[in-house]
Structure 1
C-alpha cells in the first residue's frame, strides 16, 4: 500500500534527482542477468550526529532486512559508517558489488528525516536520491520499507509494495481480552487501535486503501463492527446468537463472506452492504467456516467437517449449494485462503498423542491436483496471500511465542518475525 495520511504517521517529502537514464540501469542489469547470480548490493549508513546515530543504525538495519527478504539481492551489510563523498567505484567493482545504498537520518527527539542515495557501480554514478520523513521515532520501519520499494522500482524488479501494507493483528491478552494492533510485516512497528477490555477478534480489512476494517466484538452476543482508522469511529453492521466473523471481502468492498451461526452450527453467508441482504450459501448440520472468494468471485472455498474431519471445499455464490471437495491431502485441513485460482491451506501432518500436532501449509490450484508444501514442522496457521499473490503471511505458534511468517513463493524463502509478548489470535494483511 501507499503511505497514507490517515495514520498521521508518515509524511513523505520526496526529493528525487535522477542522474542515470533508464537504459543505463538496463545495461547494468543485463550484465548481471547473464552471470546468472543475484546482484550484490552494499547497504551503508552515513556518519551522523550523536543524537541521530542510534536512529540511523535502526533504519539501516531494517533496510538490510527488507532487501534480504525481497529475494532480489545478495546483500552486504556494512557495519561501519561511511562517507557520502568517498565512493571508490573501482574497489566496489573488484569486490563484485553492483549497487550501493547509503542511508542518512536526522532525529530531533520526535520526527525523523532520512535520505537515501543509490548508486550504480558499473556506471560509476548515482541513480537516484530521495528524502523521506516520519513524525514519530517508532515509525522508522516504514521509512526503510519505502526505501526498499523504491530501490526495486527503479531497477524494474518485481514489486515490493506488499512491504508497505499494514497488518491487522488480534493479540490475545487474557481469556476475556484481546487488542487489535496495526503493525508492519516485521512486527517492529506496532500501534494499538482497539483495547477496551473485551474480546475483539478476527479483524479484516474493509478496503484496499486500508482505512477501515471489520472485527467481531463480544458484547451480549457476537457483534460485527466496521472501524474507521481516520475518524476512530465504528459502525455496527449486524449481530448473531452464535459465531459471527468476516472471512473475506469482495474486491469492490461491497460484499462480505461471513461465518455465522444464527441458530445452531455455523454456515457460510454472503452479506451485501448496499441492500443489507443476507444470503445463506451453505446449509449443513455440521460446521462450515472460513470462506474466501476464489477465481472471479463466482465461487468460494471454505472449510467443513462434512467428511467427519475438517477439509477444504468449494461452492458457487449463486446459492445453488453445489459443494465439491477441493483438497484430497491430509485428514485435518482447518484453514484456507485464496488468490485467483490458487489456495493455501493448513493441514495436520502429524498425530502424536504425547506431543503437539504439526500443522503445515500447502499451496494448491483449483484447476489441478498438484500440491506444493510450504512449511515443514510446527503449528502454522491462518495463511493470507499478499495482494499480488507472490507472498504468504501466516502465524507460527511455538510453546514459547507467536510469530508472523513470510513465505516468498517465487524464491522458496521464508522468514519469521516474533511477537515479543502475547499471542497472535488472528490477522489480516
Structure 2
C-alpha cells in the first residue's frame, strides 16, 4: 500500500507546474501504478460488465494516473485474486468487477480494489443506476472513486454530461446529452433547427439553446428533466449564448438586433441586456475572463476573424492573439484562453489547431497538430479540454493539459454542430 501511495505522490509532484499564471504543459517520464481489471468469474451480468470494463479502461487511460495492464487473471468476486501471478506481471492494483439487477430494474456495479503489493483489499464500493443504459456512468464513478482513494488530481469531470447539437439533415439539428466518451447519448430537443446548446447551471438540469422554430431566432432556456421552457430573447440574424458565469446570473449572448452581431451581457435576475461590443462588423462568441471583469471574443475588425479582449464597461479593445489570420473560436477558464486557428498551408496543410494562451503572459502552446479541431471547452477544473474534431463525421476530443495527451471518441455517422461541457 505504501508503495502505491508513493507512486501517486511522485506522479502528482512531477506533473503540475505553473509559470506566470499559465498552465505549463510538461512531458516527463513517470512511473505509474499498473492496474489490472477483470470481470468476476461468477458474475451473471457479463455483457454489460464487458462494456463497463472497457469504459473503466478508457477512464484510467484518460486520467493519466494509471497504466492499464492486459491481464488474463480471473477470480470469483468474493475470492482473493491470484496475488503471485499478478505480482509476477508487474501489476500493482487489481480491480474485480461484478454486477446485479433487482426486480425494479436497478443495475448495481460492484467493485473491489486490491493492492497486490500489500496483498490486501483496500477499497470496496457499489454503484447503482435505475437505467442500465447509463452503465458508463457507473464506470466513471468507479474510476473517480479509485482515483480519489489515492488522492490523485481530481477527475470528477468524467461524471458530468456533455450537451451537443447534431445535424440530422437540411435545416434540422437535434440536441443531445451524453457522457464525455459518447457511449451514452439521449436526445433532449428534436424537430427543426436547434443549435448552440449551453449548460445553464452547475447541476446540469437546464440548458440554453437557439431555436429557429419561431418567427425569429430565439434563445430558449429548457429544464431537461421537467421540460419547462422560458424564452429569453429573440433577434434577427445570429443569436447564441456563448458563456454563463459561475453562479449562472450572467450570460454572454451574441445577438444582431441591428443587422451585425455584437456581444451582449444579459442579467438572468433582472432580464436586463447590456451591449458590450459596438463594432460595425462581426463580434461573436464572448467568454468571461479575469473574474467576469473582462471578455474575450472573435471579431473580424482586422479583416479576418481574430481573438480580442475588452473590459466590461469600457470601449477599449485589444488584440489578444497574434498567431495566424484566421482564429475562429475561443474558450476561457480563469486567465487561460484556448482558441482554434487555421494554420498556414505551408505549415500544417490548412488544418485548424488549438492553441493555449494566457491573458497574463505572452506564451503560446499548440495543443493539436493536425486535422480540423474546433469549439474547445475547458473542464470545470480547467485542467482538461473538450473539443470537436471533424473528418467527414465528428469525434469528441479530450486533451489532458497536464499530461500533453489527447483522446478521441467518435460519433459514428453524425456531424456535431456545437458542444458544451
Alignment pair present for 1:389 and 2:382: yes
Higher alpha-carbon deviation: 362-371 or 86-95: 86-95
- Kindly state the Cα deviation for residue 238 of structure 1 after the two structures are TM-superposed: 0.9
Deviations 1:110-129 (A, max 9, x none): 44211010111222111111
Q: Where does the alignment leave 5 or more consecutive residues of structure 2 unmatched?
A: 12-29
Partners of 1:335 and 1:253 in 2: CA distance: 22
Partners of 1:119 and 1:295 in 2: CA distance: 44
Deviations 1:190-244 (A, max 9, x none): 001011x211110000011111110011121111110012211111111112211
| TM-score, with length taken from structure 1 | 0.89
Q: Where does the alignment leave 5 or more consecutive residues of structure 1 unmatched?
A: 1-24
- Kindly state the Cα deviation for residue 278 of structure 1 after the two structures are TM-superposed: 0.8
Number of matched pairs: 399
What is aligned with 2:208? Answer: 214
What is aligned with 2:62? Answer: 69
Alignment pair present for 1:256 and 2:251: yes
Partners of 1:398 and 1:365 in 2: CA distance: 29
Q: Structure 1 residues 80 and 125 mapped into 2: Cα distance closer, same or farther (>3 Å)? A: closer
Partners of 2:10 and 2:285 in 1: CA distance: 46
Alignment pair present for 1:95 and 2:89: yes
Deviations 1:344-390 (A, max 9, x none): 000001349xx983100001111111111011111111000000001
Q: Structure 1 residues 175 and 351 mapped into 2: Cα distance closer, same or farther (>3 Å)? A: farther
Q: Would you say the 8 A contact 1:64–1:77 is kept in 2?
A: no
What is aligned with 1:402? Answer: 394
Partners of 2:177 and 2:107 in 1: CA distance: 20
Alignment pair present for 1:104 and 2:80: no
What is aligned with 1:14? Answer: none
| TM-score, with length taken from structure 2 | 0.91
What is aligned with 1:166? Answer: 161
Q: Structure 1 residues 238 and 200 mapped into 2: Cα distance closer, same or farther (>3 Å)? A: same
Alignment pair present for 1:370 and 2:363: yes
Deviations 1:140-172 (A, max 9, x none): 101100000000011100111010010001000
Deviations 1:226-269 (A, max 9, x none): 00122111111111122110000111111110011011110010
Partners of 1:237 and 1:177 in 2: CA distance: 22
Matches within 5 A, 1:16-415: 25=1, 28-30=4-6, 36-48=30-42, 52-78=45-71, 81-84=74-77, 85-107=79-101, 110-195=105-190, 197-218=191-212, 219-318=214-313, 320-351=314-345, 357-399=350-392, 401-415=393-407
| CA RMSD, Structure 1 to Structure 2 (Å) | 1.9
- Kindly state the Cα deviation for residue 34 of structure 1 after the two structures are TM-superposed: 6.1
Q: Would you say the 8 A contact 2:39–2:46 is kept in 1?
A: no
Q: Secondary structure at the match of 1:394?
A: strand
Deviations 1:385-424 (A, max 9, x none): 000001000000002x100000000011100000013210
